[in-house]
Amino acid sequence: MRRVVITGIGVVSPIGNGKEEYWKALEEGKNGVGPITLFDVSEYPVRIAAEVKDFDPGQWMDRKEVRKTDRVIHFAVAASDMAIEDGALDLNGEDPTRVGVYLGSGEGGIGTSFQNIKTLLEKGPNKISPFFIPMMISNMPAAYVAIRHNAKGPSLCAVTACATATHTIGEAIYSIRRGEADVILAGGAEAAITPIGVAGFAAMKALSSRNDDPEHASRPFDADRDGFVLGEGAGVLILEELEHAKRRNAKIYAELVGYGNTTDAYHITAPDPEGVGAVRAMSMAVSMAGWDLADVELINAHGTSTPLNDAMEAKAIRALFGQHTEDILVHSTKSMIGHGLGAAGVLELIALLLAFERGVIHPTINLERQDEECPINVVGKEPVYRKISRALSNNFGFGGHNAVLAIQRYEG
């Protein structure tokens, strides 16, 4: 069987851009949530989010390109370039038909959509930008990255809400195993902190309304959680066939060994309260990895900070792992970076990869009083220093989409 390893990391996030800045913030438990600055929110019921800061797209693209592309593409380009640099991957030396791009986005260019609809209503159809459609369609981050790097192999843009990036990575595993590609740039990007994005999620009552206390708004598994915090950013990984990586002496962060993909078929937004789909997805990932349940040491939870999701996920973990539950550490990256929607899965998988490398499990900040409905072993406000060899990354999206990845330490 062709084995799949991860050899490069690129990240744009609310707590840091680039893997070193991102990791330092994770280990320190840095909060990335604050007042929204991207537009005027004075009349909005929710006025906080986890924005990407200190990001200049001009560092990665020329100004003409920047003007013709949405913020979500800016993030994707930056993360992909970082991943290629981190992985010391010379794409000029690769057969372009053996290089793929699996990059998803839940909302696509939602900011561009909002601006052009506003223009249509205020100024008429003749004022719509000719770049509107290619700026806003969800596949364009993947397409733009492929064009930028002459990647002519398999390409896919998953759109499964909050499970998007996890699905793109999982499907990329299959593509490499089938022999369709040797290298795939995989991940997700999102830039939904826009007037319509914030207003829409707020109207659903999905967001935390702690406008006066943003630092404590995202609090997964805490008894006082009141909703998620909207985030943004991008993560791109270099997925590589093992022998291909070894031939070029690539640094290997971990091996991708399992993937679970299920659907609740229950509700358009609420998860199945019994967590049956989540249980099956985790079980599939563990089975594909060839592990026993007792082998799992750490779970990076979906952990959104919403009452329904956190309770469901905790119930699912306990239902699957039973007596082993207390031995498994669980943490939530969203406590610091908010909910990156289509980018969430890859940003969280990157946290696991760096935990493997550094021997540190980042904290779940704001866990003051763990909810009794979440009886799992959640890492609290301090990091745990421990070598981890096997872990799961969970993501569950609106519409009942469930995706889980299993990774293990590569020992040679």
How far, in Å, CA of 244 to CA of 99, rounded? 12
Which residue type, as a one-letter code, is found at position 324?
A: H
How far, in Å, CA of 393 to CA of 41, rounded? 33
Tokens encoding 268: 């358009």
Q: Helices (DSSP H) in 163-306: which residue ranges?
A: 164-177, 195-203, 242-247, 276-289
Closest C-alpha among 206, 203, 228 to residue 340: 228
User: Which residues are within 8 A (CB) of 234 and not within 5 positions of it... i.e. 6 or more apart?
Assistant: 10, 11, 12, 72, 75, 76, 78, 79, 141, 187, 188, 189, 190, 343, 346
Q: Helices (DSSP H) in 241-306: which residue ranges?
A: 242-247, 276-289
Neighbour tally for 395: CB within 10 Å: 33
Neighbour tally for 195: CB within 10 Å: 18
Q: Helices (DSSP H) in 9-109: which residue ranges?
A: 19-28, 63-67, 71-86
Using DSSP, state whether 9 is helix, strand or coil: strand
Distance set, CA 33 to CA 36, 64, 239, 340, 350 (Å): 9, 31, 30, 12, 19
Active-site residue flag, 157: no
Q: Helices (DSSP H) in 124-262: which residue ranges?
A: 132-136, 140-149, 164-177, 195-203, 242-247
284, 260 Cβ separation under 8 angstroms: yes
Q: Helices (DSSP H) in 18-125: which residue ranges?
A: 19-28, 63-67, 71-86, 110-123
Whats the size of the chain, residue-wise? 412
Among the options 162, 282, 336, 352, which is catalytic?
162
402, 382 Cβ separation under 8 angstroms: no
How far, in Å, CA of 62 to CA of 310, rounded? 42
Catalytic positions are: 162
